[in-house]
Amino acid sequence: MKTIKRKPGRMRRAVRSVAVLLCVLAAYVVLSDMKLTPRAAIRMGEQYYGIYEPTRTVAMQRMRIGWQNYRVYLTAGENSLYCGAARLTPSGWDIIFMGDAISCADGESVHVGNWCPGSLNKIIGQEIIFGRVDDPNIALLTIEEWGGRDWTKPGGENEKLRRLRTVTVEEFIEDGGCRYFLLDAREREENTRSYAAEKGVLYITGCDAMHREILRREIEIGANSLL
């Protein structure tokens, strides 16, 4: 008796097509370094700066960088801080501009970093500040900047002092016995265009709950970077 072979039904063909597409997508994600989760993309940025120790996510904020929205992460290790941004693309999560990382192994009570995403700082002057505060007596942190570059005048230096942010105790993020912050410096800045810091000095002033100054520190921009 002759056996009659039935052609696959529509449902079976559809399932096979979806399976093939998923395999192709998975292969593309692997080959293109795209990640399936935003945290995996951020981990790629951490390793770019040589951070291979276990880290945890301290904060995540949605920020507009340039003309797109991103998830900006602050992650912490025992002696390091990393700030980076991830976005979702058709092929998975990708990291932009590799972020920035600072060392927290210098024994200081306050660690501050600033990140100007990629070359976009030449256009919109965006600057993200992040850090860790180990002194429990600090209730108010003022971050000021001397120097930088005025992109409206190519090659020109901008040597004015400007206040980036005043971080209040309500803005600190408690995690693992330490306090952290992740802020967009543009939120309280008058001139938000054509200016960003790629060199200069950060002046850090810390006050207690009575507004008495208990800390003053200078950090050269980029001096505590892990690269």
Nearest by Cα to 160 from 195, 126, 113, 192: 195
With 90 as the cut, is the pLDDT of residue 92 above it?
no
Do 163 and 106 touch, CB atoms closer than 8 A?
no
Handedness of CA 108, 184, 141, 200 (dihedral sign): positive
Mean pLDDT of 126-154: 79
pTM (2 d.p.): 0.76
Q: Which residue has the tokens 């505060």?
A: 133
Confidence band for 116, pLDDT divided at 50, 70 and 90: confident
Cα–Cα distance measured from residue 202 to residue 3, given in angstroms and rounded to the nearest whole number: 82
SS3 state at 162: strand
d(C-alpha 227, C-alpha 224), whole Å: 9
Binning pLDDT at 50, 70 and 90, where does residue 128 land?
confident
| Cα–Cα distance measured from residue 81 to residue 106, given in angstroms and rounded to the nearest whole number | 13
Q: What are the residue boundaries of the structural domains of the chain, listed by start?
A: 7-34, 37-220
